[in-house]
Amino acid sequence: MSQDGALETLLHEDRVFRPLPQMVIEANANPQTLDNARRQAAEDPLAYWEEAAKELEWFKKWDKVLDESDAPFYKWFTGAKCNIVHNALDRHIKTGNKNKLAIIWEGEAGDSRKMTYFELYRAVNKFANALRSLGVQKGDRVMLYMPPLPETVIAMLATAKVGAIHTMVFAGFSAKAMRDRISDAQPKVIITADGFYRNGRAVHLKSLVDESLMGPDCDSVETVVVVHRANVQVEMQEARDLWYEELVRAESSESPTESMDSEDMLFLLYSSGTTGKPKGIVHTHGGYQVGINRTLNWVFDIKPTDIFWCTADAGWITGHSYVVYGPLIAGTTTVIFEGHPLYPQADRVWDLIAKYGVTVLYTAPTLVRMLMRFGTQYPKKHDLSSLRILGSVGEPINPEAWVWMYKNIGRSECPLVDTWWQTETGSIMISPLPVSVLKPGSCTKPLPAIEADVVDEKGNPVPPGKGGLLIIRKPWPSMVRTLFKDPERYKKTYWEKIPGVYLAGDMARKDEDGYIWIQGRSDDVMNIAGHRLGSAELESALVAHKAVAEAAAIGIPDKIKGEVAKAFVTLREGFDASDDMVKELKIHIRNELGPVAIVKTIEFRDKLPKTRSGKIMRRVLKAEELGQDVGDISTLED
Ligand code: WT7
């Protein structure tokens, strides 16, 4: 469990919150709809998904909803032809959405840009043509290393439009982390910006691309496209680097949308696992759009008048699904903010909500806890009455933060939906709807056709109140298809530990009402401020330093970030365990992994606890750290 004592609070949480009658009357899916859908899906899940798919436009209808012949490599809507960009963009141009705002973007300094669906459509077409002129074809990879900008959305959509595969690397990752992803994904083009603003400073980005391209295995990259943003010094390498503005200037604003097979790859997104090598999670055109469309419309009850703000960066799955594709498919207005939520002061989030009349706010517990520290003075300064629904994602939300948000931001009127899902699931899996009865700290029940359960290591359901492993019994359209270039790891990680079911990697418990309470990861993956970081990744970064002999990393509870990393290190002969060494190692980790990898403490040890076969026992270190019983240590070396 990630907060101090939060597990205790979660165990004793018995408050319930009910929706206002008006919400129920007006909802896209009311309790009756939900009940019916659950009943229908329990009998015939494929009929449920087929109906959901019919809400979208396809170039050619599917022959089969689900092909299980090569399970666990499930295929959805086989035989169908489509392109997610058709649904996210092209079709709106023929409707009343044409002149509606697609994007409201605000820069850190308070500058803003707004784009209608028609303007976005034209910009995407121009860039799609430019990508084609650079030789980008169906199936090619295009890497994005972008700050939050309208061009980030344009680049994602343009890539998908021409049938290429986008792979985003969050701008908080290092040049080294980027290089690893380049060598795996082998992109033809990289799209980046000169820099961006964060905390009042201009942060360089292009220079990190240059640095990463100096490494081996980067020959696939033919072109680097650079968007102007922060006016920082940039070195342009002739024949390789091009300015975005110059590239698109002469292009036509019409561009055909490639017709894709339903199962053609849409994007690749790297996520931490239990080994040092991030997993390349594969999503496709057909099923992914069905999952995000249904969940956005039901979980966030999207109406034509909504202004939707999901605070995630587009570089994470939450950004892919609920900043970019979901809101655009729904034809709503998506808000994108470049800067830091505390800049220039701690009311920036509330200021944005009031300024643009945000109606739905989807954010992370870590941000709520950060803003909570400042009390209610800041939210009280702003008119937040436009809000009607709140959402949380990324880690368990402690009831204290939930109730604070519900009362002080949501006026005790806006439902706060706690949505559980993962990069692998593509869209929300376990979540209430705004019409559901809520319990603070619980993501409530699986959505229709999602057969989630809590089981023991053999796969047998555990009784209510008891902790166990979170699994999903049946496939769903927006699921991960495979791990890029590593189908074996896909099978082993998700489908074989408990044969035939999807293993999520989380611990959970069900209560007497069937509500699910997520307790945190069951594997050696940390969840720092809602972002995954593998212990093994941190450790391999550490041992890459000349002074480090061995390292072990664990997650420890943190009041704001949920979890932070602590590293235990043994030094090589001739190196001193000094404060300077701590500093040096922290800088080293930042260089290796980027600012996303926050290591709070580094402790030096003469040796680390190991099994007789030489495996470091992180579990023992963690128990020691938390003052808990270390459990079975019979395999410990001495
Ligand atoms: C892990 C997935 C797609 C969400 C953003 C993170 C944790 C996510 C919740 C929640 C408790 C949650 C889980 C999950 N998580 N949402 N509502 N309550 N825990 O995506 O990086 O793929 O991480 O985030 O541990 O396995 P991700």
Per-residue pLDDT tens digits for 142-154:
999 999 999 999 9
Say what the pLDDT of residue 1 is. Answer: 36
Render pLDDT for 82-130 as a digit per residue (tens, 0 to 9): 999 999 999 999 999 999 999 999 999 999 999 999 999 999 999 999 9
Could you tell me if the CB of 419 is within 6 A of ligand 1?
yes
Nearest-atom index, ligand 1, CA of 470: 26
pLDDT confidence of residue 275: 86
Q: Out of 128-137, 349-358, 611-620, pick the least confident.
A: 611-620
DSSP string over 93-113: GGSTTTTSEEEEEE-TTS-EE
Task: Give the closest residue (by CA) to ligand 1 atom 19.
Answer: 395
Q: Is residue 228 packed enough to be buried (19+ CB in 10 Å), middle (13-18) or exposed (0-12)?
A: middle
Q: Which of 446, 426, 421 is nearest to 38 (CA)?
A: 446
Domain boundaries, the chain: 120-256, 524-626
Residue with tokens 């629904």: 389
Sign of CA dihedral 308, 309, 313, 318: negative
The single-letter code of the amino acid at 385 is: S
Residue 3: the pLDDT is 43
> Count of residues for the chain?
638
Nearest CA among 32, 340, 81 for reference residue 203: 340
pLDDT at position 517 over 80: yes
**Atom number of ligand 1 nearest to Cα 424:** 22
187 closest CA partner among 205, 212, 207 = 212
- Is residue 396 within 6 Å of ligand 1 at its C-beta? yes
Instruction: Please spell the DSSP secondary structure of 78-92, one letter per residue.
Output: ET-EE-HHHHHTGGG
Low-confidence winner among 158-172, 270-284, 325-339 (lowest mean pLDDT) = 270-284
In 3D, which of 363, 373, 426 has the Cα closest to residue 395?
363
pLDDT tens track for 334-363? 999 999 999 999 999 999 999 999 999 999
Summary mean pLDDT of the chain = 95
454 lines ligand 1 (CB under 6 A): no
CA of 387 to the centre of ligand 1 (A): 24
Q: Is the pTM of this model over 0.90?
A: yes
Answer yes or no: is pLDDT of 602 > 80: yes
CATH code, residues 120-256: 3.40.50.980
Indicate if ligand 1 lies below 6 Å from the C-beta of 234: no
Q: Indicate if the pLDDT at residue 11 is higher than 60.
A: yes
Q: Which of 288, 296, 393 most suits a substitution to test ligand 1, by most atoms within 8 Å of the C-beta?
A: 393
ipTM: 0.99
Checking if the pLDDT of 632 tops 80, the result is no
The reply to whether 120-256 and 524-626 are identical in fold is no
Backbone angles phi, psi at 634, to 5 degrees: -65, -20
**The pLDDT of residue 14:** 84
What pairing do the DSSP bridges indicate for beta strands 189-193 and 141-145?
A: parallel
Asked whether residue 555 carries a pLDDT value surpassing 50, the answer given is yes
What is the topology classification, in CATH, of domain 524-626?
GMP Synthetase; Chain A, domain 3 (3.30.300)
User: Closest ligand 1 atom to the C-alpha of 521?
Assistant: 25
Each residue's pLDDT tens digit, 568-586: 999 999 999 999 999 999 9
Q: Which residue has the higher pLDDT, 7 or 468?
A: 468
Q: Which residue in 406, 462, 421, 186 sits closest to 316, CA to CA?
A: 421
**What pLDDT shows up at residue 4?**
43
Q: Tokens 């792979």 map to which residue?
A: 167
